Amino acid sequence: MTALREPLIFEVSGEGKRGFLLPKLDVPVKEDVLKNIPLREEIRGFPEVSEVEVVRHFTRLSQTNYCIDLGFYPLGSCTMKYNPKINEKIALTKELLLSHPYSSEELVQGNLEILKNTEELLKNITGMDAFTLQPSAGAQGELVGMMLIRSCLEERGDPRKIVLIPDSAHGTNPSSAHICGYRVQEIKSNERGTVDLADLEKNMSEDVAALMVTNPNTLGVFESDIKKISAIVHAKGGFVYMDGANMNALIGKSKPGDMDVDVIHLNLHKTFSTPHGGGGPGAGPVGVEKELEPFLPVPIIQKVKGHYRLVIDRPKSIGRVRSFYGNFLVIVKALAYILSLGPEGLREISETAVLNSNYIRKSLEVEFHLKYKSPTLHECVFSDKHQRSYGVQNIDIAKRLIDYGVHPPTMSFPLIVPGALMVEPTETESKRDLDTFIDAMKQIAREAKENPDILKSAPHNAYVKRLDETAAARNPILRWSRENRKE
């Protein structure tokens, strides 16, 4: 069935329609309060619709979205796991929801305790010495991490110039280092897909501020030499930054604090199950070892005689990276998640995520090329190499998966695997869902041989067919307007 096209709200707008009424103004009207201030008669083009139109509009639009509540979402390095509903309910508690961030401390002790407890638990889980919960997402966590390193090096006398990043890294790593004023030097991967120690040795110098390393890396391979890597960087006075995007593989099994890394960020919207919301809000707490603690962003929370306080007087702090205390309600959900699982439940996450991933890898290793044969943990990266001879690329495989009711895997990285299909199943999926995915992928491998056109023109059953992204970029139409309609 071809779904109906849901118009833009602006296209159904009609003069005078209302979706909400305010109570009548209960104070006397004062005329001319904004004399000499430029005012507007109306917001031109703003919609006018009824409540029922709003509800149908968004309900219809919602039905064109794939989501984790609907099914399997094997996006590598994105950790699309199920989001428990009790956490959503707790985040709606009015005492939390209705508290003002500038409230005096004694009226929000519950909030401050939530933040402090979360910090403590994240310290225990990662083995780091201190945490800040302020960063709003992973990329802001990376930026904060790099700023901490820079401030510490400045205090030692030289902020240095270069940050080393493996060629398998996510694009936010080089971008974050750059905003922090560093030049990026890429480090090669070896034939196992891990950091090439010789290349690291060669590039490590007293001009290097830090190495940013993801562990397990984006191939899902654990950097077994991580302690050696840290030692090489430390020997020349640099810091090791660990991108914790893949912490779902390690929780309860191995602690970054034991790997001699100096800074780590976590993504609460990955490992700790807070929902992705179609692209945020997330949270990217940053953990550090002792030497970096004085540089953490303000405010920090201290417990003094049973009373929680916000402290801003921290002379070495990098300052503020955003307003207030981070994405508080996201942190609430993550805390609820940690408490609901306990020590055994947390270990079960990584164990099951790794089991699910290896089951998929084993089941598809004949049909799909695996560039790196090293053992993998929570994710594995196939490629389209076997299918290329039929003119089929990773994007065609991905779009065809949509026809089988499964969300496509990650394709935009790692750059060291051309035509990558990065699969991360997470721990929450049933064997039945894994098998559905495996069967679909096998079927697609057959189709690639026998009927490649069906892949190249996929998807066939989605709300829209394949969209022309090139045209969108060449002739950008980025907002609705009456003029656009005339074209």
Residues 232-251 that bind another protein (CB under 8 A): 250-251
**Tokens 């490629």 appear where?**
383
Per CB under 8 A, 483 contacts another protein: no
d(CA 177, CA 106): 39
Cα 278 off chain centre by: 11
**Looking only at residues 292 through 331 of this chain, which bind another protein when binding is defined by CB under 8 A?**
297, 318-330
x/- site string to another protein, residues 214 to 233, per CB under 8 A? Answer: -------xx-x-xx------
Residues 266, 118 contacting (CB under 8 angstroms): no
Is the torsion defined by CA of 475, 480, 483, 487 positive or negative?
Answer: positive
d(CA 75, CA 88): 23
Indicate which single residue of 119, 142, 243, 396 sits in contact with another protein (rule: CB under 8 A): 142
> Which residues have CB under 8 Å from 23's CB, separation 6+?
none
| Shortest CB 271 distance to another protein, Å | 13
Asked if residue 300 lies in contact with residue 132, where contact means CB atoms within 8 angstroms, the answer is: yes
Binding mask 77-96 for another protein (x = CB under 8 A): -x-xxxxx-x-xxx--xxxx
Q: Which stretch binds another protein (CB under 8 A): 13-21, 285-293, 383-391, 444-452?
A: 13-21
Q: Is 398 in the site for another protein (CB under 8 A)?
A: yes
Nearer to another protein, 180 or 200 (CB): 180
* Candidate segments 171-179, 198-206, 235-243, 447-455, binder of another protein by CB under 8 A: 171-179
Listed in order, strand segments (DSSP E) in 314-406 are 369-370, 380-383
The site for another protein, by CB under 8 A, has a size of 203
Strand, coil or helix: 42: coil
Contact call for residue 205 and another protein (CB under 8 A) = no
Which of 397, 427, 437, 440 lies at the binding interface for another protein (CB under 8 A)? 427
- The residue among 156 and 324 lying less far from another protein, judged by its C-beta, is 324
**Shortest separation between residue 284's beta carbon and another protein, angstroms:** 8
27 contacts another protein (rule: CB under 8 A):
yes
By DSSP bridging, strand 239-243 and strand 208-214 are parallel
- Residue found by looking up tokens 């990955």 in the block: 270
Nearer to another protein, 81 or 369 (CB): 81
Q: Are 96 and 337 within 8 A, CB to CB?
A: no
Q: What x-and-dash track marks residues 247-286 binding another protein by CB under 8 A?
A: ---xxxxxx--xx-------x-x---x-xxxxxxxx----
Nearest residue (CB) to another protein, 45 versus 418? 45
* CB closer to another protein out of 178 and 449: 178
Binding test (CB under 8 A) with another protein, winner from 129, 153, 181, 404: 181
| Triad 5, 7, 11: Cα angle to 5° | 155
* Interface with another protein in residues 41-70 (CB under 8 A): 42-49, 51, 54-55, 57-59, 61-70
What DSSP letter does each residue of 115-174 carry, written as one string? Answer: HHHHHHHHHHHHT-SEEE---SSHHHHHHHHHHHHHHHHHHHT---SEEEEETTS-THHH
Q: How far apart are the first and last CA of the chain?
A: 29
Select 61 or 235, whichever has its Cβ closest to another protein: 61
